[in-house]
Chain A
Amino acid sequence: MTDININVHQVTRVEGHGNIVVSAKDGKIEELRWEVPESPRFFEAMLRGRHYDDVPFIASRICGICSIAHTTASIKATEAAFGFQPSEQTLLLRKLLYNAETLESHVLHALFLAAPDFLGVGSVFPLVETHKDVVVMALRLKMLAYNLAEALAGRKTHPISCKVGGFAKLPELSELEALRGRLENALVDLDTTVELFKTLSPSIPDFTRETEYIALTDPKEYAFISGQIGSTDAGVAPLDKYLDVTNEFCVPHSTAKYTKNKRDSYMVGALSRFNNNHEQLLPRAKKAAQELGLSAPSHNPFMITVAQVVESVHAAEDSINIIDKILARGLEEEDNQVKVRAGRGIGAVEAPRGILFHDYTYDDKGILTKANCIIPTNQNHNSIQKDMDALVPLILSRPQDEIRLTLEMLVRAYDPCISCSAHFLTVSFK
Chain B
Amino acid sequence: MKPKVAFFDFTGCEGCQLDALHLDAGEVIDLLNAVDIVNFREVMTERSDDYDIAFIEGSITRESEITRLKKIRDQAKIVVAFGACACIGGVNCLKNHLPMEEALKIVYGEDARYYDTIPARPADAVVKVDYCVRGCPPVTSELLKVIKALLLGKKPDIPNHPVCVECKMAGNVCVFERGMTCLGPVTRAGCDAVCINSGRHCWGCRGLVDDPNVDSEKEVLQKYGLTVEQVVEKFKIFNTYAEVAK
Contacts and interface: CB of A to CB of B under 8 A. Distances in A.
B237 A54 contact: yes
Interface in B94-135: 94-95, 97-98, 100, 103-104, 107, 111, 114-115, 117
A381 interface: no
B91 A125 contact: no
B18 A154 contact: no
A136 interface: yes
Interface string A34-52: 0000011110011001110
B194 A146 contact: no
A65 B18 contact: yes
Contacts of A167: 199
Given A46-B91, A155-B194, A250-B111, A128 B13 contact: no
Contacts of A112: 21, 43
Interface stretch (B44-52, B153-161, B210-218): B44-52
B19 interface: yes
A155 B194 CA distance: 8
Nearest to A367: B233
Contact of A64 (B29, B61, B137): B137
B15 interface: yes
A128 B29 contact: yes
A67 B29 CA distance: 28
A425 B41 CA distance: 26
Interface string B21-58: 11111001100100001001111111100000000000
Contact of B14 (A10, A15, A146, A158): A15
Contacts of A139: 23-25, 28
Interface string A131-169: 000011001101100100000011111101101000111
A61 B13 contact: yes
B15 to A, nearest CB: 2
A127 to B, nearest CB: 11
Contact of A163 (B28, B45, B197, B200): B200
Contacts of B21: 112, 142
A49 B97 CA distance: 11
B104 A58 contact: no
B62 to A, nearest CB: 6
A161 B198 contact: yes
B43 A13 contact: yes
A58 B14 contact: no
B203 interface: yes
B239 interface: no
Contacts of B187: none
Interface size class of B (residues with CB under 8 A): 35 or more
B6 interface: no
Interface of A is mostly: loop
A140 B98 contact: no
B16 interface: yes
A61 B91 contact: yes
A255 B114 contact: yes
A61 B103 CA distance: 27
Contacts of B40: 123
B136 A160 contact: no
B228 interface: no
Given A46-B95, A136-B25, A157-B18, A13 B111 contact: no
B114 A425 contact: yes
B62 A158 contact: no
B15 A50 contact: no
A65 B15 contact: yes
Nearest to A256: B114
A429 B108 CA distance: 12
Contacts of A406: none
A158 B28 contact: no
Given A12-B47, A139-B24, A160 B198 contact: yes
A205 B109 CA distance: 43
A430 interface: yes
A41 B98 contact: no
A319 to B, nearest CB: 19
B12 interface: yes
A16 interface: yes
B11 interface: yes
B198 A64 contact: no
B117 to A, nearest CB: 6
A160 B14 contact: no
A128 B28 contact: yes
Nearest to A39: B11
Contact of B43 (A65, A124, A255): A124
B151 interface: no
A123 B46 contact: yes
Interface in B189-224: 194-195, 197-200, 203
Interface core residue of B17, B114, B197 (most chain A CB under 10 Å): B114
B233 A51 contact: yes
Contacts of A77: none
Contacts of B44: 12-13, 116, 122-125
A61 B120 CA distance: 15
Contact of A160 (B10, B12, B15, B194): B194
A337 B54 CA distance: 46
Interface of A: 10, 12-16, 39-42, 45-46, 49-51, 54, 57-58, 61-65, 67, 108, 112-113, 116, 122-125, 128, 135-136, 139-140, 142-143, 146, 153-158, 160-161, 163, 167-169, 250, 255, 419-420, 425, 427, 429-430
7 tightest A-B CB contacts, nearest first: A64-B15, A154-B198, A168-B199, A123-B44, A169-B199, A122-B45, A42-B95
15 contacts: A12-B45, A15-B42, A39-B11, A54-B203, A63-B14, A113-B43, A125-B32, A128-B32, A143-B22, A158-B136, A161-B198, A163-B200, A168-B199, A168-B200, A419-B12
Given A12-B45, A62-B13, A168-B200, 20 more contacts: A14-B42, A39-B117, A41-B61, A42-B117, A46-B91, A46-B94, A61-B136, A64-B16, A64-B137, A113-B43, A123-B43, A128-B32, A142-B22, A154-B200, A160-B194, A160-B200, A250-B114, A419-B12, A425-B114, A430-B107
